[in-house]
């Protein structure tokens, strides 16, 4: 992080704010974002963040939101040096969220935390205000830039805009000017006067300093850099921050999360989080049962030593759909911290075996408050039994031959439970295909709504491969929409048509080069940074004369292992090296290249390991002439 960054602990009387800030991440992909705890109805705890943090189009089928981690209270003493021991620092985290609200017009998203927060962590839920805001106020922001410890920035809000467009290269375009005195603006523009922000600050709660409440989320940064310039207070400043407003999100459905009317109470105060104990941690908090693979299981463990032996009663809400291996779990004062496991089995003769169905499991147990008063608490977890047919998961794909045409019934994949979001919920309306090619070839995938499908449904596809030097491809097709509003966007309607055909390599290469999917290595020697993702980064080089080259990924910019495949212009693999399964770079890999021929270098970064530092997962691809 830049030297302009300020530890959040350097500002007095901010502990309640610090205790409401969390970091959103995943142990396997390291896509850091910031978030803010807010109180929902009943026992619900929500996390306010930026919608663009959820848009991981090449990863959302592999890493469901229920497997994301929420890191609490990650801050350092004022002016402390950065901690390098990640395992010792991230000691307060919980796994499991579900997306319950998205709004593209304000870049706002709300997640529901599916776990109890241990009361001893001292968490707070933030005060927020979705009322009218106008430029001219001072703001504060506490975030986790680049996955680092909490930093604070401050500044002045100077403008408002109705719409914001974020380009793929990170640049921001303001929408056409609109009359923000009569229309609720989706975004505010702030200029930083102290501190700094960076990638990873996205989603943090932006506080109106006078109101003392969160009024929006950090959406995008612009300007000359990550550092504020205290001498510049207009849009030529060093740090410009676009803020997605809660007032816009409120009108777009945020109010429904709280069961309120759009003209009802639209604010909340800061509040210390409390729970009667013992509280629980659930492993595999959104269990998914694939009948063809047999039972699945989840774990239960207490978060505190109980005052007395504690028995948890488990009851399935749909006994005709699933069966549990245990109806009761008992924890003693001696074994309270040891997880106990419950198997879930799909009922063999259940109804509608060709449809995906949701189920709930109620957990009931005695709890005690700080005064010694006992009561009973109920916590529900939700899961799904997948349709008993081919095509419902990576483990059970529908194997196809080309050319191929298929019509998907979207209703089959949409269990009607509140955990489901259209983009990132734990249950996805997805069809999985597997295609095994006999050699190099191109794939053309066309997807579109079919027949009477709803107009707001867009059908998308993605292709995955564990080892791109082989020819086993997984093709994933799903519907996608821009909004998720509670009570209005939980179901998909209609059908989708999928057509898959092959194409010549020449046609595919021409298309890829035109779309800048493949990058030319120039000049020699060349170096390019390949970001960690599920599909490979591909580079090509066409030497004028024959030569021997050396390829390496060992560099200070490399944070994870990778696999490299070198292919000729017929897409035949001529050399491979490295391993995406270990924390290791490729020190040296030599290849002989013929003059006038085109060669492709496919770098596949690991999808199943942490980066060795708290930076984005990346590999420095270097090619030199020997």
Euclidean distance between CA atoms 264 and 253, whole angstroms: 13
* 76 found inside a domain: yes
- Most confident range (mean pLDDT) of 318-332, 459-473, 515-529 is 318-332
Distance CA 511, CA 599 (A): 17
Structure tokens at 247: 């007032």
pLDDT at 399: 92
392 found inside a domain: no
User: What is the residue-averaged pLDDT of the chain?
Assistant: 81
User: pLDDT tens for residues 238-281?
Assistant: 788 999 999 999 998 899 999 999 999 999 999 999 999 999 99
d(CA 586, CA 624): 14
Per-residue pLDDT at 373 exceeds 80? yes
Burial status of residue 165 (CB atoms within 10 A of its CB: 0-12, 13-18, 19 or more): exposed
Question: Of 31-35, 89-93, 298-302, where does mean pLDDT reach its minimum?
Answer: 89-93
**Residue 377 CA: distances (Å) to CA of 45, 336, 366, 525:** 16, 18, 6, 65
Whether the CB-CB separation of 71 and 90 falls below 8 Å is answered with: yes
d(CA 341, CA 318): 20
| Dihedral angle over CA of 565, 461, 58, 109, nearest 10 | 180
What's residue 136's pLDDT? Answer: 93
CB 209 within 8 A of CB 21: no
**Alpha helices for 372-500 (secondary structure H):** none
Q: What is the 3-state secondary structure (H, E, C) of 308-320?
A: CCEEEEEEECCCC
Which of 79-93, 302-316, 570-584 comes out lowest in average pLDDT?
Answer: 79-93
Q: What is residue 42's three-state secondary structure?
A: coil
Please tell me what DSSP assigns to residue 202. T
Query: How do residues 348-369 score in pLDDT, each as one tens digit?
Result: 888 777 777 888 999 999 999 9
What are φ and ψ of residue 339, in 5° steps? -60, 145
Burial class from Cβ neighbours inside 10 Å (0-12, 13-18, 19+) for residue 69 reads: middle
149 and 236, same domain (yes or no): yes
Write down the pLDDT at residue 570.
75
Partners of 357 in beta bridges: 385
Give the pLDDT of residue 225.
61
pLDDT for position 555: 74
The larger pLDDT score, comparing residue 82 to residue 7, is at: 7
pLDDT category of residue 288 using cuts at 50, 70 and 90 = confident
- Of the spans 33-37, 92-96, 413-417, 427-431, which averages the highest pLDDT? 33-37
Do 153 and 266 fall into the same domain? Answer: yes
What confidence score (pLDDT) does residue 435 get? 93
Tens digit of pLDDT for each residue in 423-450? 333 345 678 899 998 877 788 888 887 7
Q: How many whole angstroms separate alpha carbon 426 and alpha carbon 383?
A: 8
User: Of 221 and 401, which is predicted with more confidence?
Assistant: 401
Q: What CATH number does the domain containing 366 carry?
A: 2.60.40.10
Q: Is the pLDDT of residue 515 over 80?
A: no
Final residue before a domain boundary, out of 341, 361, 385: 385
- What SS3 state is found at 101? strand
124 vs 445, residue with greater confidence: 124
Judgement on whether residues 87 and 156 belong to the same structural domain of the protein: yes
Task: Give the torsion sign (CA, 602, 607, 609, 615).
Answer: positive
**1 found inside a domain:** no
How far out from the chain centre does Cα 135 lie? 31
* Residue 118 DSSP class: P
Q: Decide which of 98 and 45 is more confident.
A: 45
Residue 327 has pLDDT above 80, yes or no: yes
pLDDT at 142: 97
Is residue 589 within 8 A of residue 524, CB to CB? The reply is no
Among residues 526, 288, 498, 307, the alpha carbon closest in space to that of 413 is found at: 288
Is 390 part of any domain? no
**What pLDDT, on a 0 to 100 scale, did the predictor assign at position 378?**
96
Q: Does residue 303 share a domain with residue 196?
A: no
Total residue count of the chain as it appears in this document: 626
Strands (E), 317-373: 322-324, 328-331, 340-346, 357-368
Task: Please tell me whether residues 250 and 183 are part of one structural domain.
Answer: yes
Which of 85-99, 115-129, 486-500 has the least mean pLDDT?
A: 486-500
CATH of the domain at 576: 2.60.120.380
Tally DSSP H helices, then E strands, for the chain: 4, 44
Instruction: Select from 360, 385, 410 the last residue of a domain.
Output: 385
- State whether 40 and 184 are in the same domain: yes
CATH number for the domain spanning 236: value is 2.40.10.120
Please tell me the pTM assigned to this model: 0.79
For residue 504, the tally of other CB atoms under 10 A from its CB is: 10
The partner residues of 25 in beta bridges, in order of sequence, read 69
Residues 123, 76 share a domain? yes
Residue 403 and residue 318 in one domain: no
Distance CA 512, CA 497 (A): 24
- Rounded Cα distance between 297 and 12, Å, is 46
Its domain, for residue 554, covers 513-625
**Range of weakest confidence among 67-81, 152-166, 527-541, 546-560:** 527-541
Half-sphere exposure of 107 (CA within 13 A, CB side): 28
CA-based nearest residue to 108, from 30, 188, 183: 188
Cα dist. 456→248, 279, 422, 560, 608 in Å?
A: 21, 41, 12, 40, 35
Residue 414: pLDDT band (50, 70, 90) is very low
Provide the pLDDT for residue 531. 67
Asked whether residue 452 falls in the same domain as residue 592, the answer is no
As a whole number of angstroms, the distance between CA 489 and CA 42 comes to 22
CB 389 within 8 A of CB 354: yes
Q: What is the pLDDT of residue 58?
A: 42
Band of the pLDDT at 567, cuts 50, 70, 90?
A: confident
Give CA–CA dist 138/188, Å, rounded. 12
Task: Please give the Cα distance from 148 to 158 (Å, whole number).
Answer: 28
Q: Which pLDDT band holds residue 30 (cuts at 50, 70, 90)? A: low
| pLDDT of 571 higher than 80 | no
pLDDT given for residue 609 in this prediction: 44
- The residue written with tokens 């995906």 in the block is 356
- By DSSP bridging, strand 164-166 and strand 240-245 are unpaired
Burial 236-268 (b: 16+ CB within 10 A, else e): ebbbbbbbbbbbbbbbbbbbbbbeeeeeeebeb
User: Residue 412 pLDDT more than 70?
Assistant: no
Number of folded domains that form the chain: 4
The first and second tokens of residue 449, run together, are 């709504």
d(CA 194, CA 12): 15
Asked if residue 52 and residue 157 are part of one domain, the reply reads: yes
Show Cβ contacts of residue 94 under 8 Å, excluding neighbours closer than 6 positions.
Answer: 69, 70, 72, 113, 115, 117, 281
Domain end: 503, 526, 544, which one? 503
Check whether residue 121 and residue 252 sit in a common domain. yes
Considering the domain boundaries, does residue 332 fall inside one?
yes
pLDDT digits (tens, 9 = 90+) for 168-202: 444 555 555 556 665 678 899 999 999 988 878 99
CATH code of the domain in which 495 resides: 2.60.120
* CA separation, residue 133 to residues 216, 218, 233, 276 (Å): 10, 15, 19, 37
Instruction: Report how far residue 584's alpha carbon sits from residue 545's, in angstroms, rounded to the nearest whole number.
Output: 32
User: Does any domain span residue 3?
Assistant: no
Helix (H, G, I), strand (E, B) or coil at 46: strand
91-95, 163-167, 343-347, 512-516: least confidently modelled range: 163-167
Is the sign of the CA dihedral 418, 423, 426, 430 positive or negative?
Answer: positive
In a domain, 178, yes or no: yes
Is 508 inside a domain boundary? Answer: no
Is the pLDDT confidence value at 237 over 70? no
pLDDT in tens, 580-603: 555 567 788 888 999 988 888 888
Give me Rg for the CA atoms of the chain. Answer: 26
Q: Average the pLDDT over 16-28 and give the result.
A: 88
Counting residues of the chain whose pLDDT is more than 70, the rounded percentage is 78
**Do 213 and 68 belong to one domain?**
yes
Contact 195, 151 (CB under 8 A): yes
How far is Cα 247 from Cα 317, in angstroms, rounded to an integer? 37
């Amino acid at each position: 992080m830049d030297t302009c960054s300020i530890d959040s602990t350097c500002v007095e009387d901010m502990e309640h704010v610090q205790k409401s800030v969390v970091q959103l991440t995943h142990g396997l992909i390291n896509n850091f974002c910031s978030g803010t705890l807010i109180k929902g109805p009943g026992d619900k705890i929500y996390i306010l963040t930026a919608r663009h943090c959820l848009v991981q189009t090449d990863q959302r089928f592999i890493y469901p939101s229920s497997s994301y981690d929420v890191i609490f209270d990650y801050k350092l003493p004022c002016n402390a040096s950065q901690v390098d021991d990640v395992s010792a620092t991230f000691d307060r985290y919980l796994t499991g969220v579900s997306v319950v609200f998205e709004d593209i017009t304000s870049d706002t998203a709300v997640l529901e935390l599916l776990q109890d927060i241990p009361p001893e962590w001292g968490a707070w839920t933030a005060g927020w205000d979705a009322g009218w805001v106008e430029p001219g106020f001072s703001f504060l922001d506490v975030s986790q830039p680049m996955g680092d410890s909490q930093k604070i920035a401050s500044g002045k809000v100077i403008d408002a805009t109705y719409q914001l467009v974020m380009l793929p290269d990170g640049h921001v375009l303001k929408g056409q000017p609109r009359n923000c005195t009569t229309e609720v603006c989706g975004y505010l523009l702030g200029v930083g006067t102290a501190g700094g922000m960076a990638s990873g600050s996205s989603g943090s709660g932006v506080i109106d300093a006078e109101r003392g409440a969160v009024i929006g989320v950090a959406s995008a940064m612009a300007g000359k850099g990550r550092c504020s310039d205290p001498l510049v207070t207009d849009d030529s400043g060093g740090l410009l921050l676009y803020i997605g407003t809660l007032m816009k999100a409120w009108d777009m459905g945020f109010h429904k999360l709280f069961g309120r009317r759009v003209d009802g109470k639209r604010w909340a105060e800061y509040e210390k989080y409390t729970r009667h104990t013992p509280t629980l941690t659930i492993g595999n908090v959104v269990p998914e049962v694939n009948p063809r693979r047999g039972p699945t299981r989840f774990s239960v463990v207490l978060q505190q030593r109980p005052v007395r032996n504690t028995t948890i009663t488990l009851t399935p809400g749909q006994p005709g759909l699933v069966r549990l291996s245990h109806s009761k779990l008992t924890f003693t004062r001696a074994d309270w911290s040891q997880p106990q496991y419950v198997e879930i089995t799909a009922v063999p003769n259940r109804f509608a075996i060709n449809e995906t169905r949701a189920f709930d499991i109620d957990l009931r147990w005695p709890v005690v408050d700080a005064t010694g008063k006992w009561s009973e608490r109920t916590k529900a977890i939700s899961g799904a039994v997948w349709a008993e047919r081919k095509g419902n998961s990576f483990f059970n794909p529908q194997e196809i031959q080309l050319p191929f045409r298929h019509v998907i019934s979207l209703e089959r994949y949409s269990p009607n439970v509140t955990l489901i979001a259209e983009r990132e919920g734990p249950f996805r309306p997805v069809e999985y295909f597997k295609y095994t090619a006999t050699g190099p070839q191109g794939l053309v995938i066309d997807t579109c709504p079919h027949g009477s499908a709803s107009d707001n449904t867009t059908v998308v596809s993605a292709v995955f491969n564990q080892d791109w030097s082989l020819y086993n491809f997984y093709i994933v097709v799903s519907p996608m929409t821009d909004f998720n509003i509670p009570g209005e966007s939980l179901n998909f309607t209609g059908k989708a048509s999928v057509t898959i055909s092959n194409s010549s390599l020449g046609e595919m290469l021409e298309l890829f080069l035109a779309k800048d999917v493949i990058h030319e290595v120039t000049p020699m020697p060349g170096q390019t940074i390949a970001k960690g993702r599920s599909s490979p980064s591909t580079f090509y080089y066409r030497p004028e004369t024959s030569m021997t080259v050396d390829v390496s990924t060992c560099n200070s910019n490399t944070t994870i292992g990778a696999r490299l495949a070198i292919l000729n212009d017929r897409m035949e693999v001529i050399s491979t090296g490295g391993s995406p399964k270990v924390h290791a770079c490729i020190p040296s890999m030599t290849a002989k290249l013929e003059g006038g021929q085109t060669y492709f270098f496919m770098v596949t970064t690991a999808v199943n390991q942490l980066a060795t530092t708290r930076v984005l997962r990346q590999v420095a691809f270097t090619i030199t002439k020997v």
